[in-house]
Structure 1
Amino acid sequence: VAKSPAPATRRTPGMAAAEIAAYCASSDYAGLSQYCENFELDLRHTEVDLTASVGVYKVHLAAYMLRDELDSARFLWKRLPAEAKADPELQAMWAVGTAMWQQKHAEVNAKAAAFAWSDPFVSPLMASLQAQYLQRIFAQLGVAYATVTAESLAAKLGVPAARVHELANAAGWTADAVSGAYKPVQPEGESQHTVKLEQLQTLTSYISHLEQEIRA
């Protein structure tokens, strides 16, 4: 007598939580976003209740924002079911994402700090996003300015001036003894780019001089 096939293993919300926890513990946000994409493509949202489904969507959105994949985050938000979009925490997360998209740096920090994010996943993910975003924008602003005051950066970043002092000291920036303005340390790649540009300008001037000598 032929044996009946074993019933397919049904994945439970607990299994999803354990898999998500492993990615979060290792800060593997690329793996986390891929896991959530597969969860969606495999129609696993239909296998769990609304609470569990929304929980995965939150992690999915956070993973995209942590990787600065804002296009992917926008498309995810657009295709969310209406009942998922009604979740206040998911709305608050996308408000942070919208501010990131619009490059409203101070607003990103304000919105990320204003909401009481839930455990066990959203709270640490959003804390990581807030810290990571602050560091990235601080570095970008450092490249944009030759000198800048802590107060100016604080206004742009939406953090106290004391936090800017901490970031500047950690980055090795020097402060002017008179004005107190910081002189950002340029990344090595930027310095090399500047040197190469100066060399090209010197070479161009030299060739131009030779051409004038030949024509004389």
Structure 2
Amino acid sequence: MDFSMLTATMASKSFEKIADICDNIMLQVAAEGIAYQDEWPYAIHLLGHIYVDDINSARFLWKSIPSSIKENQPEVSAAWKIGQRLWTRDYGGVHEAIRGFEWSQELQVLVAAFSELYTKKIFQLLQSAYSTISIQDAAFFLGMNGDDATNYVLQQGWAVDLASHMLTVKKQVIMSEQKLDPSKLQRLTEYVFHLEHR
């Protein structure tokens, strides 16, 4: 099996491409009738789907993995533990699953990149869902201790009330593009012309 494209993708940190590359290699190998289970990079494949937030595909992949591999390759099970937490929307549990395993050198960068991406996603979710939130709750969702969570959100412009242990969310300013209607512009021009030449 030729994993050179996957290796190059991992090296270039183009993690959003991993799931598609693995899916394509798997289909190609299956079409050629080659037995691949023992050599397959299941942990990378699972994490590739998790990275792009394709939990359904990760779940189906997990179900297709032979039980012998699940039992003998703890990193595969550790990768799926992250998927399980995402599946059940256990936001704090995702961070626990990430930190709860000693990842191989090959996967450390991918897991760290996913963790950063996930933290940003959860932060945006908190930003859109709350106007105020306790430091404790923010820390839970962001997978950090209270001090780290407070520092993280302060850098994003939030405010903290240390007396009440509450954070005030800074809402994101949404810039909306206005489309210019030529007929309205023409009417406005005529109106201004009319006012100026009365």
Structure 2: which amino acid aligns with 1:83?
S
1:118 aligns with 2:104: yes
1:67 Cα deviation after fit: 0.6
Equivalence map 1:39-58=2 (5 Å): 39-43=25-29, 46=34, 50=38, 52-53=39-40, 56-58=41-43
The CA distance in 1 between the partners of 2:5 and 2:173, in whole Å, is: 39
Q: Who is 1:185 aligned against?
A: 170
SS state at 2:132 partner: coil
Distance 1:119 1:158 in 2: 22
Q: Check whether the contact 2:135–2:150 (CA below 8 A) recurs between aligned residues.
A: yes
Distance (whole Å) between structure 2 residues aligned to residue 139 and residue 178 of structure 1 = 25
How does the TM-score come out when normalised to structure 1?
0.71
Q: Give the superposed CA RMSD.
A: 2.3
- Code of the residue aligned with 1:63 in structure 2: it is G
The one-letter code of the counterpart of 2:29 is: L
Q: Percent identity?
A: 26
Q: Aligned runs of 1:97-176 on 2, under 5 Å?
A: 97-120=83-106, 122-176=107-161
Shift of 1:48: 5.3
* Secondary structure of 2:104's aligned partner: coil
- Tell me the residue number matched to 2:10: 24
Q: What amino acid sits opposite 1:46 in the alignment?
A: I
Runs of 5+ unmatched residues, structure 2:
177-198
Q: Does residue 75 of structure 2 align to residue 75 of structure 1?
A: no
Report the 3-state secondary structure (helix = DSSP H, G, I; strand = E; otherwise coil) of the residue aligned with 1:172.
Answer: coil
- Give the letter aligned to residue 161 of structure 1: G
Alignment of 1:58-97 (within 5 A): 58-86=43-71, 87-97=73-83
Q: 1:48 to 1:153 in 2, by over 3 A?
A: same
Count of aligned residue pairs for this structure pair: 173
Structure 1 runs of 4+ aligned residues shifted over 6 Å read: none
Q: Distance in 2 between matches of 1:29 and 1:152?
A: 30
The one-letter amino acid of 1:25's match is A
CA distance in 1 between counterparts of 2:164 and 2:94 reads 29
Q: Which 10-residue stretch deviates more, 150-159 or 58-67?
A: 150-159
Judged with a 3 Å threshold, the aligned counterparts in structure 2 of structure 1 residues 37 and 152 are, in CA distance, closer, same or farther, namely same
Counterpart residue identity of residue 133, structure 1: Y
Structure 1: runs of 5 or more not aligned? 1-10, 193-216
